[in-house]
A and B are shown apart, each in its own frame.
Chain A
Amino acid sequence: DAGVTQSPTHLIKTRGQQVTLRCSPKSGHDTVSWYQQALGQGPQFIFQYYEEEERQRGNFPDRFSGHQFPNYSSELNVNALLLGDSALYLCASRKRQHNQPQHFGDGTRLSIL
């Protein structure tokens, strides 16, 4: 039973570029959330997808966008990259029912030069 998988594991980009990160949820999970974790801080919620729609969004600019596919996998897109976007991007999945635990992937380490 595969857990949450993310790709790529590491990525280096320059300012102004665009990036796409990918996430496959744990088997049986239908809801995917994305988090940004800067060094030494707790994860910050970006947004969550269920039934291919964005259901809730944190305090992130429109440069951050996402998508969920019919197989529940998801993408996170970030445009016009800034130095401050350097972070670990975590994907978490869960079953939609209330109070179900979220399970995290290993994350994508994004470095902006």
Chain B
Amino acid sequence: GENVEQHPSTLSVQEGDSAVIKCTYSDSASNYFPWYKQELGKRPQLIIDIRSNVGEKKDQRIAVTLNKTAKHFSLHITETQPEDSAVYFCAPYPTGDYKLSFGAGTTVTVRA
């Protein structure tokens, strides 16, 4: 099965600064790479995803970069805002596998 690690486990940034979370996975067959945001007491919400035929994808202040050779992908949040405070999970997904293997999560705190 997929072994997923996220770093760092906690991240505190000043409002307006950037935040980067890295996700390392073990299964080279993985070809779908989503990031989920979970606010306290709420559902995980898909915020961005990337497929293995592209190296980078951007959506406003959020971007994901993928390095398949090194088996890691990263979430980048620019111009952070207090509402970005949440737990972020990566969940790489191999073809033919039907389950998401979640990382342990990164708690992001944006200081006003």
Within 91-110 of A, Cβ neighbours of B (below 8 Å) are at 92, 98-99, 101-107
Nearest-Cβ distance from residue B73 to partner chain A, whole angstroms: 14
Question: Which B residues are in CB contact (< 8 Å) with A99?
Answer: 31-32, 51, 93, 95
Q: Which A residues lie within 8 Å of B36 (CB)?
A: 104
Measured between beta carbons, the chain A residues less than 8 angstroms from B93 are: 99
Number of interface residues of A (CB under 8 A): 24
Residue pairs across A and B with CB atoms within 8 Å: the count is 54
| B contact residues, range | 20 to 34
Is A56's CB under 8 angstroms from B44's CB?
no
Q: Are A101 and B89 in contact, with the CB atoms below 8 A?
A: no
Instruction: Let me know if A33 is at the binding interface, CB within 8 A.
Output: yes
The answer on a CB contact under 8 Å between B102 and A43 is yes
Q: Which residue of A lies closest to B32 (CB)?
A: A99
Q: Which of A42, A56, A90, A92 contacts B104 (CB 8 A)?
A: A42
Q: A41-B105, A43-B102 are in contact. Are A105 and B43 (CB under 8 A)?
A: yes
User: Is the CB–CB distance between B42 and A106 below 8 Å?
Assistant: yes
Query: Which 10 residue pairs across A and B have the least CB separation, nearest first?
Result: A42-B102, A45-B99, A99-B32, A104-B43, A48-B98, A56-B98, A104-B44, A106-B43, A42-B105, A101-B46
